Chain A
């Protein structure tokens, strides 16, 4: 019975839903589209319940850090404190964001922090480029030359100094880069289909947790 619940039933469900929703793509009937919508709702509901698992894991990990006083345990207190404050304010505001404390926390704390993290990306691009563009090998030299051409082609001053840089950068982007990207995408698509077949037919089952 345990093997049936742990192995056979999930594989059976995977096969049935996999085949059904692969075929669904070709059936425009409202019943078929309704089934897809219904499944999307189920997924959202399951995700909602799964979030409880996530929160439990978060609390567990940070509780262990506080209990054992590991280095930086104070940050775990900040996690608890922030979470409880947000939940309390959210309940007080009855989930409404406009003109409430919850909206204030979202706009002036979460959004600001997210913006800060995102803006770091600019610096990281520069530091990654610095490391990648050192001409240590033939490939890196090609990358360096392509990057210089792209920079000249995309910056107004660069195109003013080297007028040919604009069309050349466009050619790099729209011919060489696009061709390589399409090649990768074709590989990904075929790999995706092959992986789906492996999963639907139960050939690949290690995602269920090991093999028999």
Chain B
């Protein structure tokens, strides 16, 4: 079958002019040409057309007068790649049946899933846009960045903690190092650590994941070195609590209530513990800055934190805080991608609406370019 990893066979045969409700097709399977054959499926003769398959036009012949049936490996039927199997199709009206000859088919894995070709193409286009933007940013470094109040407030929060002589609590989220939001959180941590080093403010970073902890230790240490304050670096500023969700929330809440940090940063991805953490922090009167791409937790952060970086703003933070042209260039590429998608959505909506109102299939090929096929 096109686009699969093997272990399945697609059977197709021309539809008969007399295909109708009293007639049914039966599909048989055998390991040898002479049989024995076992019945795999039975369905009405006016169903299972090639055009019924939810596949894109560029990888699938959507012929209407050809029947199609996919035989997949199951618990009882194991189709081994590279081995020939035999199939027969019979047409029956319940009393007598007309049987076709046995045909062989070999399941083979594919090297490329052509159903995802549109996805691949969009990825290439978008990646190219970002890379072009980066190279342009190197030539013309003065790119306008809109204000992000949450990131502007970082300085204010650290300053407040310094004035009050209280620590800063920084959380990197609940995901591991393979999550983009965790990486973004660790990048912002580096910038925060530079400021805490310069102002000699205590930084506390409790962790749920030991690998994230090890990475953050390195980042904070480097930041203190860069700030010219390696002496102020404390080995215990990053510490592991537990990987258990609510035990972690309880421990962090305890730190907030006992040590009363002046500023709490919640960066990264969070689950149900989000409100448990931020509401406790709000109760202590700390200035709270959150940044997450967990869309379900955003309402909780917005209601309980002073500033919230919504979604992509979290990823933009490193460019915004460092102002490095190369990093800022990626933001322009992102914006161009968004503009492209916005225009595509407007055009797509108009075409889909016209299609639905008039019943025309003319726009289906264009609309399929933006669909997600498996």
Binding site for B on A (CB under 8 A): 22, 25-30, 33, 43, 46-47, 50-55, 57-58, 60-61, 64, 71-72, 110, 113-114, 117-118, 120-121, 124-125, 127-129, 131-132, 181, 184-188, 190-199, 201, 203-204, 206-211
Quick check: A190 and B219 within 8 Å, CB to CB?
Answer: no
Quick check: A209 and B303 within 8 Å, CB to CB?
Answer: no
Is the CB of B159 closer than 8 A to any CB of chain A? Answer: no
Quick check: A191 and B312 within 8 Å, CB to CB?
Answer: yes
Knowing A46-B211, A117-B276, say if A58 contacts B219 (CB, 8 Å).
no
- Closest 6 pairs (CB-CB, A-B): A210-B222, A191-B312, A54-B210, A132-B303, A54-B240, A209-B218
Is the CB of B60 closer than 8 A to any CB of chain A? Answer: no
The answer, among A26, A43, A185, A210, for a CB contact under 8 Å with B223, is A210
Q: How far is the CA of A104 from the CA of B355 in the complex (A)?
A: 61
Q: How far is the CA of A198 from the CA of B184 in the complex (A)?
A: 11
The answer, among A30, A60, A121, for a CB contact under 8 Å with B236, is A60
Instruction: Name A51's closest neighbour in chain B (CB-CB).
Output: B210
- Which segment of B30-38, B92-100, B142-150, B244-252 sits at the interface? B244-252
Taking the nearest CB of chain B, how far is it from the CB of A119, in angstroms?
A: 10
Q: How far is the CA of A57 from the CA of B111 in the complex (A)?
A: 46
B56: chain A residues within 8 A (beta carbon): none
Is the CB of B77 closer than 8 A to any CB of chain A? Answer: no
Quick check: B337 and A57 within 8 Å, CB to CB?
Answer: no
Quick check: A28 and B110 within 8 Å, CB to CB?
Answer: yes
Instruction: Name A118's closest neighbour in chain B (CB-CB).
Output: B246
The answer, among A114, A181, A195, for a CB contact under 8 Å with B246, is A114
Contact indicator per residue, chain B 213-249, by CB within 8 Å of chain A (1) or not (0): 1110011011101100000000010111111111101
- Which segment of B16-24, B47-55, B175-183 sits at the interface? B175-183
The answer, among A28, A57, A125, for a CB contact under 8 Å with B5, is A28
Q: How far is the CA of A43 from the CA of B211 in the complex (A)?
A: 11
A188: chain B residues within 8 A (beta carbon): 293, 295, 311-312
Quick check: A127 and B223 within 8 Å, CB to CB?
Answer: no
Quick check: B186 and A55 within 8 Å, CB to CB?
Answer: no
Quick check: A190 and B240 within 8 Å, CB to CB?
Answer: no
A71: chain B residues within 8 A (beta carbon): 258
Quick check: B218 and A117 within 8 Å, CB to CB?
Answer: no
Knowing A184-B310, A188-B295, say if A28 contacts B4 (CB, 8 Å).
yes
The answer, among B116, B176, B295, for a CB contact under 8 Å with A185, is B295
Quick check: A54 and B207 within 8 Å, CB to CB?
Answer: yes
Taking the nearest CB of chain B, how far is it from the CB of A126, in angstroms?
A: 10
The dominant DSSP class at the B interface is helix
A50: chain B residues within 8 A (beta carbon): 209-211, 214
Quick check: B275 and A125 within 8 Å, CB to CB?
Answer: yes
List 15 A-B residue pairs with CB atoms under 8 Å apart, sorted by A's residue number: A26-B116, A47-B176, A50-B209, A54-B210, A54-B213, A128-B282, A188-B312, A190-B337, A194-B330, A195-B183, A206-B219, A207-B183, A207-B186, A209-B190, A209-B219
Q: How far is the CA of A186 from the CA of B311 in the complex (A)?
A: 9
The answer, among B5, B187, B219, for a CB contact under 8 Å with A204, is B187
A121: chain B residues within 8 A (beta carbon): 272, 275-276
A129: chain B residues within 8 A (beta carbon): 303
Q: How far is the CA of A144 from the CA of B322 in the complex (A)?
A: 38
B256: chain A residues within 8 A (beta carbon): none
Q: How far is the CA of A188 from the CA of B226 in the complex (A)?
A: 31
Taking the nearest CB of chain B, how far is it from the CB of A30, in angstroms?
A: 5
Contacts beyond the supplied A22-B123, A29-B5, A186-B341: 4 A-B pairs with Cβ under 8 Å: A43-B178, A50-B211, A131-B282, A192-B293
Q: How far is the CA of A188 from the CA of B181 in the complex (A)?
A: 10
The answer, among A33, A55, A195, A201, for a CB contact under 8 Å with B180, is A195
B184: chain A residues within 8 A (beta carbon): 195
Instruction: Name A199's closest neighbour in chain B (CB-CB).
Output: B183
Instruction: Name A192's closest neighbour in chain B (CB-CB).
Output: B180
A185: chain B residues within 8 A (beta carbon): 295, 311
Q: How far is the CA of A54 from the CA of B247 in the complex (A)?
A: 15
Taking the nearest CB of chain B, how far is it from the CB of A64, in angstroms?
A: 7
